A and B are shown apart, each in its own frame.
Chain A
Amino acid sequence: MPIGTRVSPSEPFPDRALGGDGRDPNDQNADPDLLRHAIDLHAAYIYRLALSIVHDRALADDVVQETMIRAWRWAPIAPDGEVPRAWLARVARNAAIGILRRRREELYGSDAIPEKESAVTPARTVEGRAALDQLRGALSALDESDRALIVLREIEGLSYEEIAETMELPLSTVKTRLFRARQQLKRALEAWR
């Protein structure tokens, strides 16, 4: 498997012609086996990250598809033959934010884009509501980047260095933002429970 040095994952999805079999004929990474392998290995991971950002299962599906197609075409391949997780997370995060932005523009127009998803307020809690819903509500109080930081660290177990690479932030910023986001999540959860 060639070691690719491909386009930056933060670049927009390029409009490249596909071959008749659906693969980019100019792309050495476009191996269908690699695609299925990457999906089996990373789809759930990407889904969780995407869901934490977009808060919508259908949109999370879209992010997973977009990420896998980009990985198939342009992902750098690590010496171990795998697509680097940090690279995938960066692509997924950018795809999720792009999808959210487009959705907001559709809903509100480009002149009035809110900074955050409208957070569900604790007042909407009804007795007996599932703890998971409460947690999702608490998560929605955080901004998208903070949710991504928490997922990458707490669920996916990425190192601070990998997160810094994924989020394109300095290492110390990753730590301080993550620690404050965790505290904010705990507080938000207290408000819900």
Chain B
Amino acid sequence: MSRHPSNQQLQAWLENGAPTRVGKHVDGCERCMALLEELSDLGDSLVAELTDALAAPTDVEDRTARQVENRLRNEAAFTAFLDLFTVGWSATRTILDIEEDSDE
């Protein structure tokens, strides 16, 4: 498509992605891209509604800090627990190695 598509064509493309030649044209056309941006603008009130709909709880920071702290503490405790076995196994192997050496 060498000529710019009409606003109607751009609107139709926004709605259903057709005709595909419009999509190919706008991909490299700053003018049409700017028009698409304008045509699809949500408007201030819808953006404000959107912001409300996805609002974070007022205590999200404190709650996240607590949850992260708990999770890290649990992970650390689990690692320490695994270390107990690792240390125990290393000690056992050392003892066994010593016994094998003394048998020889």
Binding site for B on A (CB under 8 A): 17-23, 35-36, 39-40, 43-44, 47-48, 51-52, 57, 61, 64-65, 68-69, 72, 131-132, 135-136, 139, 150-151, 154-155, 172, 175-176, 178-180, 182-183, 185-187, 189
**What are the 10 closest A-B residue pairs judged by CB atoms, nearest first?**
A22-B72, A47-B56, A44-B56, A182-B40, A183-B14, A179-B40, A22-B76, A179-B36, A135-B53, A48-B54
User: A17 vs B72: C-alpha distance in the bound complex, in angstroms?
Assistant: 11
Count of chain B residues near A, Cβ 8 A: 40
Q: Would A18 and B50 be within 8 Å (CB), given that A180-B17, A183-B40 are in contact?
A: no
Binary per-residue interface labels of chain B (80-99) against chain A in the complex, 1 for a CB within 8 Å, 0 otherwise: 10000000000000000000
- The reply to whether A179 and B37 contact each other, CB–CB distance below 8 Å, is yes
Binding site for A on B (CB under 8 A): 14-15, 17, 23, 26-28, 33, 36-37, 39-42, 46-47, 49-57, 60-61, 63-65, 67-69, 71-73, 75-76, 79-80
B94 to chain A, nearest CB (A): 22
- The reply to whether A186 and B46 contact each other, CB–CB distance below 8 Å, is yes
